[in-house]
């Protein structure tokens, strides 16, 4: 494995919480009637497709580039992350309530890092969101979905209904932001994930002609 990759992976043991600031994403917005009890995402939903991205992950100033592949299965998704040279870093079967690690390098096999990646991938790939409330913003419809003890705020385009953004939040503040850029409603060409309580960012850009 390249030394640069090893240097990046070695900092996985240094994950430390930092203070986050902010307030509820819907503070000051008027609540409206929930139009549908379940929102179904159309991203990552075709079992015949391989969703292939160039991935860039930054943790505490250390950077790793590689290839991310997601594949829809009957009961979830299979997720594989490799180096740019094709060396497999992690291979996981993800379900809504559990996951199976098929392969993982030792440097990534740290509980806090693995569970963070699993949670991020699961929310990014999630098919159904159960809606508890709805709000109207100037340029988006916002759906509040329950997620265990936390909530997800889904931002939908007022023009075509596409999922633009997810804000994962606790009771008082946003902790993770997911942004999606999609030319059509079934494929997000660019995905950006940023944590606000740890210094972790992930950027996924579609690799075409795969």
Region for 45 from its dihedrals, namely left if φ exceeds 0, alpha if ψ lies in -120 to 50, beta otherwise: alpha
In tens, the pLDDT along 107-138 reads: 888 899 899 999 999 999 999 999 999 998 88
Q: How far apart are CA 4 and CA 2, in angstroms?
A: 5
Above 90 in pLDDT, residue 13? no
What does the block give as tokens for 126? 């999630």
Fold of 24-206: outer membrane lipoprotein receptor (LolB), chain A (2.50.20)
Domain definitions of the chain by residue range: 24-206
Say how many Å lie between the first and final Cα of the chain, rounded. 24
- 56 CB-near residues (< 8 Å, 6+ apart): 63, 64, 65, 202, 203, 204, 205
Give the mean pLDDT of the chain. Answer: 87
**For tokens 């096999």, what's the residue?**
109
pTM attached to this predicted model: 0.86
Q: How far apart are CA 163 and CA 72, in angstroms?
A: 18
**pLDDT score of 2:** 55
- State how far the alpha carbon of 175 is from the alpha carbons of 4, 11, 98, 107, in Å: 28, 21, 22, 25
């Amino acid at each position: 494995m390249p030394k640069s990759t090893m240097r990046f992976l070695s900092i996985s043991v240094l994950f430390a919480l930092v203070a986050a600031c902010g307030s509820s994403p819907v503070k000051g917005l008027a609540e409206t009637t929930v139009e549908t009890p379940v929102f179904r995402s159309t991203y990552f939903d075709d079992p015949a497709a391989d969703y292939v991205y160039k991935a860039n992950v930054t943790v505490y100033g250390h950077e790793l580039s590689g290839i991310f592949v997601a594949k829809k299965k009957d009961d979830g998704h299979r997720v594989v992350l490799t180096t740019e040279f094709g060396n497999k870093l992690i291979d996981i079967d993800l379900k809504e309530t559990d996951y199976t690690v098929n392969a993982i390098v030792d440097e990534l096999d740290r509980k806090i890092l693995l569970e963070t990646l699993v949670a991020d991938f699961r929310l990014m790939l999630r098919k159904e969101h159960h809606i508890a409330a709805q709000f109207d913003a100037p340029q988006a419809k916002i759906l509040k979905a329950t997620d265990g003890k936390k909530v997800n705020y889904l931002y939908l385009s007022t023009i075509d209904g596409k999922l633009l953004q997810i804000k994962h939040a606790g009771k008082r503040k946003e902790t993770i932001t997911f942004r999606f850029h999609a030319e059509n409603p079934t494929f997000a060409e660019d995905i950006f994930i940023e944590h606000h309580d740890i210094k972790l960012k992930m950027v996924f850009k579609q690799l075409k002609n795969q």
